[in-house]
Amino acid sequence: MPNQLHSFIGPNGAGKKTFFNMLTGLVSSDAGVIRFGNSDITRMPAHKRVRAGLGRSFQIISLFKHLTAFENVRVAVQSHSTARRSLWQDAYDLADVNEQTWSLLAAVGLDHRADELCTHLSHGEQRLLDIAVALASQGRLLLLDEPLAGLADADREVVATLIRALATTHAVLLIEHDIDRVLALSDRISVLHQGRLIADGKPADVAAHPEVIAAYLGQAHGSAHLAVAVPKGRSPGGPLLSVRDLSAGYDGSVVLNQLSLTVNRGEVVALLGRNGVGKTTLLRAITGTIPPSSGRIEFAGRDIAGMASFEVNHLGIALVPEGRRLFPNLTVRENLELATRAGGASLDEAFGLFPKLRVLQAAKAEHLSGGERQMVAIARALMAPAELILLDEPFEGLAPAIVNEVMQAVLRLRERASVLIVEHKAELILPICDRAYALVNGGVAWEGSAATLAADHALQHSLLGVTDAPEEKVRSEPTRAVVAGGAGLSV
């Protein structure tokens, strides 16, 4: 029976995505058999697996950025229609294709946003759109790769509810690091560690498995950040970054609306808010990726608004972008050496911050786990002299046991520079920050002590849409879907 939500978890680098890639034909297996229904698909090309009923979304959203939401889904629907070969037929005349497109948009709650360009959708809406595109394959099995990554809490609730609903009509195989939601939503959980299956069963049984706790959840599961030793008694200096009445956006739209904030020397500041309120847009404006339409951005007393990105970087602002953006075909050492400038950190200092990178320095970036790539991205930002480091979602896609390691490194950054952190998990970063700003509709709705916001859950709910994770529930014995993997795992 297909109606099951089967989650696939494990530490970064355990082999989860490799397993997904083997299921979908992007990576060839060396041994074993993959069966889908009654068919052996082990050597079947990827496109034929999709037509056979395998649908997939990816961790890094893969959409046509300059098409509308409707057009993104329609292209996917049309690719499975006999009309895909009708080169001269107007797509708007394909009644069955357009009807199915509207149906899929409605299923994910985006029918009212159908005419919006993908670039104008929030990150949460793009996640929903990506799932709609995966559904267009009319697959019996949906493979969802970290669909909650980078979402604010309110958006995570929406997407999680949709995934649970999909499991009533599909077999759903999910990779996700939000362990609380995984435990609450799943019918069955399988755990990989170092390429082997270490646990498989009901959520409650897997969560209590000692090998899973040691390898993935960590001894401080549920409060990994509490293990971090936060420096006390620090006194920040004067203003380093000053943003005043800043407005900016894309293609004539306004995302930031007269926003003002300050980051002082030696200070760690959190930048919080729901998806789409302008957090990443602000980082882009600061680093010169997009020009502001009005307002000032002063860094060390100098107006940098409108400067080119390379000029901003040379003045002493470094960005660790969401998605890491390493050169995949270069080694760890080569990625770091490319960023090296006089006055920045040495390779030894970078390896001191992340000892694991010394061992992995000859490995290509494309072969690193998500946690390892994040370590390289942070270390790379230090290779040039920087007084201010901007971190965009530094904990996205990291296993619970890895978060603490990266957080310790973030704390050590404050010894070298001021830090501005964009992160959707407020409860994770507020304990390590001095102050916080919460954005709503492109402006600052609240600013103050990070400790004050951390202690006021009602205020967090009001500003950030923070909700309690769904109550953990143990489901009845899960039904079985029709896929078998070469590792001896049935879904």
Q: Are 413 and 475 in the same domain? A: no
Distance, in Å, from the CA atom of 201 to the CA atom of 69, rounded to the nearest integer, reads: 38
Q: What is the distance, to the nearest Å, from the Cα of residue 408 to the centroid of all Cα atoms in its chain?
A: 20
Q: What is the pLDDT confidence band of residue 86, given thresholds at 50, 70 and 90?
A: low
Q: What local confidence, expressed as pLDDT, does residue 485 receive?
A: 36
Q: What local confidence, expressed as pLDDT, does residue 475 receive?
A: 41
- Segment 290-310 mean pLDDT: 92
Give me the residues paired with residue 142 across strands.
Answer: 55, 172
Q: What local confidence, expressed as pLDDT, does residue 489 receive?
A: 62
Interior angle at CA 304, CA 276 and CA 302, nearest 5: 130
Q: Are 402 and 457 in the same domain? A: yes
Q: Which residues of 266-282 are buried (b: 16+ CB within 10 A; e: fewer)?
A: bbbbbbbbbbbbbbbbb
Rounded alpha-carbon distances, angstroms, from residue 266 to 414, 422, 434, 444: 6, 17, 10, 22
Distance, in Å, from the CA atom of 389 to the CA atom of 394, rounded to the nearest integer, reads: 12
Q: What is the pLDDT confidence band of residue 146, given thresholds at 50, 70 and 90?
A: confident
Structurally, the chain folds into a number of domains equal to: 2
Q: Are 324 and 457 in the same domain? A: yes
Contacts of 180 (CB under 8 A, 6+ apart): 222, 469, 472
Rounded alpha-carbon distances, angstroms, from residue 317 to 212, 310, 381, 415, 434: 40, 10, 9, 15, 19
Q: Is the per-residue pLDDT at 448 higher than 90?
A: yes
Q: Are 451 and 346 in the same domain? A: yes
129 in Cβ contact with 63 (< 8 Å):
yes
**181 inside domain:** yes
Q: What is the pLDDT confidence band of residue 260, given thresholds at 50, 70 and 90?
A: very high
Q: Are 202 and 306 in the same domain? A: no
**91 inside domain:** yes
**131 inside domain:** yes
* Structure-model confidence comparison of residues 155 and 146, the more confident one: 146
Q: What is the pLDDT confidence band of residue 176, given thresholds at 50, 70 and 90?
A: confident
Q: Is the per-residue pLDDT at 482 higher than 60?
A: no
**339 inside domain:** yes
CATH of the domain at 57: 3.40.50.300
Q: Is the per-residue pLDDT at 101 higher than 70?
A: yes
Q: Are 357 and 286 in the same domain? A: yes
Q: Is the per-residue pLDDT at 220 higher than 90?
A: no
Q: Is the per-residue pLDDT at 466 higher than 70?
A: no
Q: What local confidence, expressed as pLDDT, does residue 56 receive?
A: 86
Q: Is the per-residue pLDDT at 480 higher than 70?
A: no
* Structure-model confidence comparison of residues 401 and 298, the more confident one: 298
Q: Are 327 and 446 in the same domain? A: yes
**489 inside domain:** no
Contacts of 126 (CB under 8 A, 6+ apart): 61, 63, 118
Q: Burial level of 429, CB count in 10 A (0-12/13-18/19+)?
A: buried
**490 inside domain:** no
Tens-digit pLDDT profile for residues 379-395: 998 898 999 999 988 88
Q: What local confidence, expressed as pLDDT, does residue 474 receive?
A: 36
Q: Is the per-residue pLDDT at 470 higher than 50?
A: no
Q: What is the pLDDT confidence band of residue 218, given thresholds at 50, 70 and 90?
A: low
The DSSP letter of residue 430 is: G
437 in Cβ contact with 269 (< 8 Å):
yes
Q: Is the per-residue pLDDT at 205 higher than 80?
A: yes
Domain range spanning residue 49? 4-224+471-484
Q: Are 184 and 255 in the same domain? A: no
Q: What local confidence, expressed as pLDDT, does residue 222 receive?
A: 42
Tens-digit pLDDT profile for residues 20-29: 899 989 888 8
Q: Are 218 and 261 in the same domain? A: no
Q: What local confidence, expressed as pLDDT, does residue 227 receive?
A: 47
Q: Are 443 and 303 in the same domain? A: yes
Q: Is the per-residue pLDDT at 225 higher than 50?
A: no
Q: Are 315 and 194 in the same domain? A: no
**229 inside domain:** no
Q: What local confidence, expressed as pLDDT, does residue 297 receive?
A: 96
Distance, in Å, from the CA atom of 162 to the CA atom of 132, rounded to the nearest integer, reads: 11
Q: What is the pLDDT confidence band of residue 221, given thresholds at 50, 70 and 90?
A: very low
Q: Are 201 and 250 in the same domain? A: no
- Segment 27-51 mean pLDDT: 89
**260 inside domain:** yes
Q: Is the per-residue pLDDT at 321 higher than 80?
A: yes
Distance, in Å, from the CA atom of 44 to the CA atom of 31, rounded to the nearest integer, reads: 14
- Segment 476-480 mean pLDDT: 34
